[in-house]
Structure 1
Amino acid sequence: MSQSPSTETGGARDRPPGGIEGVPLARALVVAVSGPALLAVAPASAHWLAPAAIAGLGVAACLLPRRGAKAARAAVASEAARETRFAAGTETVVDALPEPALVVDATLQLHHGNPAALRAFGTLIVGEAISLRFRAPEFLAALEEAIATEGGGKASLAENRASGLAWAVDVLPLAQAGGGAPSRFLLLFRDRTAERRIERMRTDFVANASHELRTPLSSLIGFIETLQGPARDDQAARERFLAIMREQAARMSRLIDDLLSLSQIEMKRPPAPGHTVDLVELLEDVRHLLEPVLEDSGVTAELEVEPGDYVVQGEHDELVQVFSNLIENACKYGASGERVLLSLAFEPGEPRTIRATVRDFGPGIAAEHVPRLTERFYRVNVESSRAKRGTGLGLSIVRNILLRHSARLVIWSEPGMGSAFSVLFPIRKK
């Protein structure tokens, strides 16, 4: 009995925290140990102490394993709760990102996708491999390589769908709640479609410009070699070849002029406020300016103007270039209709808009060509365009000038009915 206080004090100092239903583990051990001791020193009371001793041993036997199991369960539960809170915090941050983002594990199984990813890629199922959605072997291989380093990396994805979307993907390791090697990775998608389209346009432009210049240049070189060789003393051949060479040189000059004009237009700022142009006077000026072209084409130009004030903000010379190009095209490709109609009218509805139209009554253009007419170097018929001294840049120049004027070009055409090129000018409030 005299040892009980020291045993309890030592137990209080050495015991781990916790207990079962509020009973400290050391107190249960006291019951188990002191029960047999009571039997030894007080045999007269054995009839009620014996059950107490046996009960104490049973309690101790039960409490020891139950105490360890509960501590283990508590530790697991605490760790799980911490992981849950950490994952929830990570998902909150990922959901706030404006770019599409996915959280995957080392096997590329999806664990989370933010709202931007759902909008960009459609339905994504948590627990499935992202290879079921992104069927691009090179992209998946780049992801696996980046994940294997545990330090992240980069990948690129070009979707083979009608959208033609292109993505640059950053692979970023996510730290774990308890530290250690990362088991989750963030895939951050950045849209590079516009940059890729611009790069493709730049490449196509250089290729097309080189081709357009190479053809007449090759012709010039060939005729020069002929005149220096077999046709050196052939007067008739020399006259014929020199005429062709002059035409090819003029073609190169027109192309270079259009290229320079397009480059200058793209670098200019929008017209300063206060510069105004009367479209009625401008169309009259352009019609008189192009009288020789109209006569050579056998085309008459008519002007129809509905009552009203057709003054817009803009640069006079640039708008002359717009309508000169449109009327020249009408003469080149719609001459069979024998007339070109120039018209000015107000568009109904709000905001109010002025419609200036150049219409021909020629063969028209097939519907599949209309959306691409303003592309650089695009031609419905390459040979016909070159025969008519076209460079393939006229409508592209028109479009860029109109963009600077906050105006837009609308094209209508139907085979056998002719074509109409309408410029829509916004009417700014004073």
Structure 2
Amino acid sequence: MSQTNDSQTDPMAVYLPATPWTRVTEARWPIVAIAILALLANAFYQVPGVVCGAVVIGLTGMIAYLPRKARTRKLQAVKQRRLRRMWPGTGMKLTVDALPNPCFVADGRGITRYVNEAASKFYGAVKPGDPLSFSLRAPSLLEAFDRVCVEGRPAQITWTEKVPTEAWFEAHLAPIYMPGQAEQGGGGAAPDFVLVVIQNQTEQRRLERMRTDFVANASHELRTPLASLTGFIETLQGPAKDDTDARNRFLAIMLEQSGRMRRLIDDILSLSRIELKAHVQPAEKTDLVEIVRHSADALAPLARELGLEVHTESPDTPVMIRGDRDELIQVTENLLENALKYGSQGKRVDLVVKRQETGGKHWCLQVRDYGEGIPAEHLPRLTERFYRVDVASSRAMKGTGLGLAIVKHILTRHRARIEVASELGKGATFSVVFAGELPHQESDIELALSVPLPAQAE
């Protein structure tokens, strides 16, 4: 009955079978000590052997049949401490689950013991019992983990990852000592667990870069149109103050320059917004065929103005891909507009949605013109900011030099790739390759250059 009450008050205790031999076995060391004392008493103090034997038997019986509660707790303390060091308790798990950031609980050997839901979503299927390095592969983070285990002090580190997109992370590592451990974080005691909390700082870093880039780009690209506006205003206020013809001509130029400034600001802001979320892949699905038809209809007036025809070719059924509809429309319209403006000599532009020739699981959006083409030396730099193959032609077409840079960053976010093929006198083809319903495998945007083009369609 006493054992039942003890187990209720102390659920951590587990009692051994209460046989006489078991109790004598548990008390073997006190019995041995008593026997040695009895032999010494008999040898040096001439105590009769019968008396010594009686004392040994009596003390042995008392020790063997003492209440087992204290001894059992002592025996189970080591087992329970080992158990606590192996797996975190329910309270710790509930606390970790309440945190919004990805969290890992690992033991001193670097074995993952628990992960919260945020970590499972961000890092995929994480199995407790696997080494922490299976999920967190940053060398600096693993080195910090080892330091925390050795020194028993918290640590904080930051690191950068380049794949699939550039991202910044910060990790806080803290040792956890369970109640009852002799040395709580001091004297070289190894922690029972280490809590690893990870913060994704990509958005904050991109915001800082966006501010810096905006100031640099705005100060560089807006200087020319602003200087033109200032010069014309000063001229109208001075020598051309009463010249009606000059005033009308200057006002038209000023309107054009102000429009150029507006387009530059719009493109810079658009590029900054896209870069801000480049590390977040879209989750929604959209129809690539509908996007192509929408873009062709939207740019039909420009095609008629330039005397070109837009030929579309796509499957009769929807082509569902993972992507943001508005951003993909921006990509399609940008590529189609460039083909219309810079390939006007060919009198035709093809806009095609088809299966990729190699590996039938991917879809390809292809925009092809039959104009002058792009020299091979310019192909590697087409997606750079403010890079223009022909500065005069680009400005005449009201280009800002940011169109293909925007396309590159949108496709980076969609884990797609762009391929460019061109040959002088035969036009250029821009191909964007998407995955269908399957996860994207490309780690980043790729600019593939191939010459010559496929045979021209009749």
TM score, norm. by length of structure 2: 0.51
Which is greater in Rg? 1
What does 1:221-240 align with in structure 2 at a 5 Å threshold? 221-229=230-238, 232=241, 238=247
Asked if the contact 2:313–2:352 (Cα under 8 Å) also holds between the matched residues in 1, the reply is yes
Asked if the contact 2:106–2:132 (Cα under 8 Å) also holds between the matched residues in 1, the reply is no
Instruction: Say which SS state the counterpart of residue 23 (structure 1) adopts.
Output: helix
- Kindly provide the amino acid, as one letter, of the partner of residue 368 in structure 1: P
Spell out, residue by residue over 1:386-430, the C-alpha distance to the aligned partner (whole angstroms, 9 max, x if none). Answer: 4531134545777899999x99774423464643234679999xx
Aligned mates of 2:173, 2:410 — CA distance in 1: 43
1:112 maps to 110
1:172 maps to 174
1:157 maps to 158
Asked if the contact 2:335–2:367 (Cα under 8 Å) also holds between the matched residues in 1, the reply is no
1:248 maps to 257
- Kindly provide the amino acid, as one letter, of the partner of residue 172 in structure 1: A
Asked if the contact 1:172–1:187 (Cα under 8 Å) also holds between the matched residues in 2, the reply is yes
Q: Deviation at 1:174?
A: 1.8
Q: Deviation at 1:329?
A: 0.9
- How many residues are aligned here? 350
Percent of aligned positions with the same letter in both sequences? 26
Structure 1 regions of 5+ residues with no counterpart? Answer: 1-16, 40-48, 60-75, 105-110, 135-139
Asked if the contact 2:319–2:436 (Cα under 8 Å) also holds between the matched residues in 1, the reply is yes
Structure 2 regions of 5+ residues with no counterpart? Answer: 1-24, 57-73, 113-130, 438-458
Aligned mates of 2:291, 2:31 — CA distance in 1: 99
Aligned mates of 1:175, 1:130 — CA distance in 2: 20
Specify which structure has the bigger relative contact order, considering alpha-carbon pairs within 8 angstroms and separated by 6 or more residues: 2
Asked if the contact 1:412–1:419 (Cα under 8 Å) also holds between the matched residues in 2, the reply is yes
Asked if the contact 2:140–2:157 (Cα under 8 Å) also holds between the matched residues in 1, the reply is no
Spell out, residue by residue over 1:52-89, the C-alpha distance to the aligned partner (whole angstroms, 9 max, x if none). Answer: 79x99xx9xxxxxxxxxxxxxxxx99998776555434
TM score, norm. by length of structure 1: 0.54
2:316 maps to 309
Q: 1:237 to 1:272 in 2, by over 3 A?
A: same
Spell out, residue by residue over 1:176-222, the C-alpha distance to the aligned partner (whole angstroms, 9 max, x if none). Answer: 55244314463625252643564356335633664445553343234
1:192 maps to 200
Q: 1:319 to 1:367 in 2, by over 3 A?
A: closer
1:71 maps to none
Aligned mates of 2:249, 2:335 — CA distance in 1: 33
Aligned mates of 2:365, 2:177 — CA distance in 1: 61
Asked if the contact 2:422–2:428 (Cα under 8 Å) also holds between the matched residues in 1, the reply is yes
Query: Could you tell me which of 27, 31, 40 is aligned with 1:23?
Result: 31
Instruction: Say which SS state the counterpart of residue 328 (structure 1) adopts.
Output: helix
Aligned mates of 1:419, 1:89 — CA distance in 2: 61
Q: Deviation at 1:248?
A: 0.7
2:428 matches 1:412: no
Q: Deviation at 1:369?
A: 3.2
Instruction: Say which SS state the counterpart of residue 112 (structure 1) adopts.
Output: coil
2:369 matches 1:359: yes
Please state which structure has a larger fraction of its residues in helix. 1
Query: Could you tell me which of 211, 226, 250 is aligned with 1:203?
Result: 211
**RMSD of aligned Cα (Å):** 6.3
